[in-house]
Amino acid sequence: MEEGRHRGIDPSARLYYYIFCNSFAYGRRPRNANKRALKRALKRNERAITLGVENGPYEVECNEYMYFTVDVVEPCMDLRVQVFGRAGEPNLYVSRYPTLYPTEESLAWTSYNWGDENLTISSWDPSFEVGTFYVGVQAFCSDEVQTGFEDAVVILLVESVRSVHPELNDISEKPVTGTLAAEGYHYYKFCVPRECVSLEVILENCLDPEACPTSYAWPELLVSHSIPNPTIYDLTWKLATVERRKVSLDPSHPNFHTGHFYVGVYGWCTPAEHCPDKSACGPCEYAENTEYTVTIHTEEIPQADCKPKTYKCDVISEGNTVLLDTLFC
């Protein structure tokens, strides 16, 4: 967020903007849930904590919650939240808008082990986005726990940590070479850490029947921001022609975002019964085991030429109109 964008606006007013932005931007009055969230916000005083630094100690009253906010700016890294209990029995709840103050009844990421809490939120989670996360620590009190009805004393450590997808190869840093599966798929992933970049996803293989008479092929390239295993029928960026061999994206595209992308390579080919001339129809027997390479090429866009997406939100506040960026609105 630009320095001075909200100079002089206290946290309660910023939350007021936040809630009303999401209400009026869609042409409707604030929902009851948003009104309740605003009332809760005016009663609670969350603490801002810094990534990578131990914060505390904090004392949380028995069966009550204490709330913290942390601004996450790394779309390609996981978020790890650790709670070190020095007394009592702490439980951990983490959320994003519209759940501003998570509880045991909320849609939230949670950890409620005995003693310390250690929660890692994957950047591959579809609900993960950069911006403000809300961290709630509850002092759980009950006859069921050894600490009984003791207040909790905690130290918090929130960090952005390296993300590892358990199944897909990362092609962000270097090209990958594979062999086609006729009418089958291979999948990869890459990540865009900053908005001011343009990128090309390039698929290379032998396309020329004369140069590769028994091993030419015309595979399809699929790129998705949300589907881990995209198919040719899904909502994806595609090549769609033999001549075009790359998918190009930049911040001017309305669906371009920072964060993780998924790449599929489909072994498009013509079955034998529909392929009388193998030198011109791309038969499946040639596509099978044909080698290909996928490369991600990125280029930094000068800051002066980069225009990250913004949203204009009409805010009922002394007749003023403010411009809020995507991390806030």
Instruction: Please give the average per-residue pLDDT across 201-229, as a whole number.
Output: 94
Instruction: Please give the average per-residue pLDDT across 190-209, as a whole number.
Output: 92
- Residue 95 CB-density burial (10 A; 0-12 exposed, 13-18 middle, 19+ buried): buried
Average pLDDT along the chain:
82
Q: Go through 71-94 and write b for each residue having 16 or more CB atoms within 10 A of its CB, e for each that does not.
A: ebebbbbbbebbbbbeebbbbbbb
The pLDDT value recorded for residue 163 is: 85
CB 124, CB 91: distance < 8 Å: no
For residue range 113-139, list pLDDT tens digits in order.
888 999 999 998 888 989 999 999 999
Cα(316)–Cα(63) distance, integer angstroms: 37
Cα(235)–Cα(211) distance, integer angstroms: 34
Lowest mean pLDDT among 166-170, 176-180, 313-317: 313-317
163 token code pair? 């993300």
Instruction: Please give the average per-residue pLDDT across 196-224, as a whole number.
Output: 94
- Of 176, 160, 156, 157, the closest CA to residue 168 belongs to 176
Cα distance from N-terminal residue to C-terminal residue, the chain: 11
**Residue 252 binned pLDDT confidence (cut-offs 50, 70, 90):** confident
3-state class percentages of the chain: helix first, strand second, coil last, to nearest 5? 10, 40, 50
**Within this chain, do residues 125 and 79 fall inside the same structural domain, yes or no?**
yes
Lowest mean pLDDT among 30-34, 65-69, 264-268, 312-316: 312-316
Cα(214)–Cα(5) distance, integer angstroms: 62
Cα(176)–Cα(96) distance, integer angstroms: 35
> Would residue 192 count as lying in a domain?
yes
The angle, 0 to 180 degrees and rounded to 10, between the axes of the packed helices 11-24 and 32-43 is: 170
**Within this chain, do residues 298 and 256 fall inside the same structural domain, yes or no?**
yes
Which residue do the tokens 């409620």 mark?
Answer: 112
Residue 35 has pLDDT above 80, yes or no: no
The pLDDT value recorded for residue 320 is: 37
- Count CB atoms within 10 A of the CB of residue 249: 20
> Would residue 6 count as lying in a domain?
no
**Residue 186 binned pLDDT confidence (cut-offs 50, 70, 90):** very high
Contacts 24+ apart (CB under 8 A), 323-326: 323/5, 324/5, 324/17, 324/21, 325/1, 325/2, 325/5
Instruction: Please give the average per-residue pLDDT across 244-270, as a whole number.
Output: 92
> Would residue 198 count as lying in a domain?
yes
> Would residue 315 count as lying in a domain?
no
Lowest mean pLDDT among 20-29, 56-65, 221-230: 20-29
For residue range 284-304, list pLDDT tens digits in order.
999 998 999 999 999 998 888
C-alpha distances out from residue 86 to 121, 151, 153, Å: 24, 10, 5
**Within this chain, do residues 63 and 179 fall inside the same structural domain, yes or no?**
no
> Would residue 225 count as lying in a domain?
yes
Q: Last residue of a domain, which of 139, 163, 187?
A: 163
The parent domain of residue 185 ranges over 169-305
Residue 178 has pLDDT above 50, yes or no: yes
**Within this chain, do residues 201 and 283 fall inside the same structural domain, yes or no?**
yes
pTM (2 d.p.): 0.71
**Within this chain, do residues 128 and 205 fall inside the same structural domain, yes or no?**
no
Quote the number of domains for the chain.
2
